[in-house]
Structure 1
Amino acid sequence: MTAKLSGRVEAEGGADWLVLERRLPGDQRRSWQALTESTLLDRFIGRWEGDPSSGEVSFFMTAEGSTEASSYRIIECTAPGKLVVESDFMGSVWHLALTLDESADGSLLRFAQRLGEGIELAEIGPGWEYYLDRLLAVESGGTVDSIRWDDYYPSPGYQALKG
């Protein structure tokens, strides 16, 4: 099985962004917890350590078995609707913006990563699709076991998508 491409490139604030959306079954507050509480985040991607009020946390990508932390700066955190963070990662700055909106049947997550030098859509797009589908699986009461990396990468759709 090959996962569907759901990302798109949007121009915003003078930059191009990779944007992906997922409709989560929980209300906005529940979805916010899934994205910001370390133990809940660890179910599908990784955990953070530190004091968020300091403006920075250490993030461990436990889904990949990583024992090394990446430092993430918290640019904006407005519960339960918006989280903006950035990190120096793999030789470039990763700027990530998550927004949650309440909807009649749960909440709508809009995940965006600013594109720039050293950030390749063909590399990051499939990864975010994979992790967001893992989030959707656990939030829907399932497990991440059915979400297989090989169904996401490589992605001909992301190789063709240009910013």
Structure 2
Amino acid sequence: MMPQPTGRLVRKDDGVYLVLDRMFKAPIEEVWTFFGRSPRLSEWLGEYKGTGSTGAVKFRMTVEGDDPDWQDVSVLECSAPHRLHADVGAAGASHRMFVHLSEASGHTTVTVGRRLRSLVEEADAGPRWDYYLDRLVAVHDHKPLPEWSSYGPAMAEHYRTLCRELDRDLRSEHSAARAETAG
């Protein structure tokens, strides 16, 4: 069965976020280890060095290929095992990210968000994050990792459409606001 796109675009005060959810039949503390411990994180996404409590760590996304570059990470908030907010990447080119975990009835929901700098240029983030989070589910459930080839081309148009529609809505809202101000 082909994976389906699960992301949505959410408008927040500081921009538009690509937001995705995954659910685990596991306690929140167990799921948090896949974000808060480098060996667990490296099983599905990448590795980090440093101490998050200092607010600064280095991260590299090993899922993207051999010998990736280390990126700066500014940890803005870390409230284990519930919330992590960070800027990932060099100043001026970083991505704001968040991870929220909540537990109810023996299940933990993980919500991941990534702020988009451009709706037009960053629609490709959707298939990548569906892929990354499906890797997390596979690692957690001790199942084979998914293949990237099932994600990129198959999901790209879905995310491009979401971005185009929101971009059109935002432009329309801005035009209406300008017309109201001028009138």
Same fold (TM over 0.5): yes
Aligned pair count reads 161
Larger Rg: 2
Residue 31 of structure 2 corresponds to 31
Q: TM-score, normalised by structure 2?
A: 0.80
SS of match in other structure, 2:29: helix
Offset of residue 122 of structure 1: 2.3
Q: Work out the CA distance in 2 between the residues paired with 1:6 and 1:30.
A: 23
Once the two structures are superposed, what CA deviation does each residue of 1:46-79 show, in whole Å capped at 9, x if it has no partner?
1101122321111121122234201111000001
Once the two structures are superposed, what CA deviation does each residue of 1:135-163 show, in whole Å capped at 9, x if it has no partner?
0111112232xx01111102211121114
Q: Work out the CA distance in 2 between the residues paired with 1:133 and 1:37.
A: 19
Q: TM-score, normalised by structure 1?
A: 0.89
Q: Work out the CA distance in 1 between the residues paired with 2:77 and 2:160.
A: 31
Q: Work out the CA distance in 2 between the residues paired with 1:111 and 1:14.
A: 16
Residues 51, 24 of structure 1: alpha-carbon distance in 2 compared, 3 angstrom cutoff: same
% identity of equivalent residues:
29
Residue 10 of structure 1 corresponds to 10
* Equivalent AA in structure 1 for residue 50 of structure 2: G
Structure 2 spans left out of the alignment, 5+ residues:
167-183
Residue 22 of structure 1 corresponds to 22
Offset of residue 14 of structure 1: 4.2
Residue 137 of structure 2 corresponds to 136
1:1-163 matches, cutoff 5 A = 2-64=2-64, 65-88=66-89, 92-117=93-118, 120-144=121-145, 147-154=146-153, 155-162=156-163, 163=166
Residues 106, 66 of structure 1: alpha-carbon distance in 2 compared, 3 angstrom cutoff: farther
Offset of residue 42 of structure 1: 0.5
Structural RMSD (CA): 2.0
Offset of residue 125 of structure 1: 0.8
Structure 1 spans left out of the alignment, 5+ residues:
none
Q: Work out the CA distance in 1 between the residues paired with 2:35 and 2:89.
A: 20
SS of match in other structure, 1:141: coil
As a proportion of its length, which structure holds more helix?
Answer: 2
Residues 53, 78 of structure 2: 8 Å contact kept: no
Q: Work out the CA distance in 1 between the residues paired with 2:103 and 2:60.
A: 29
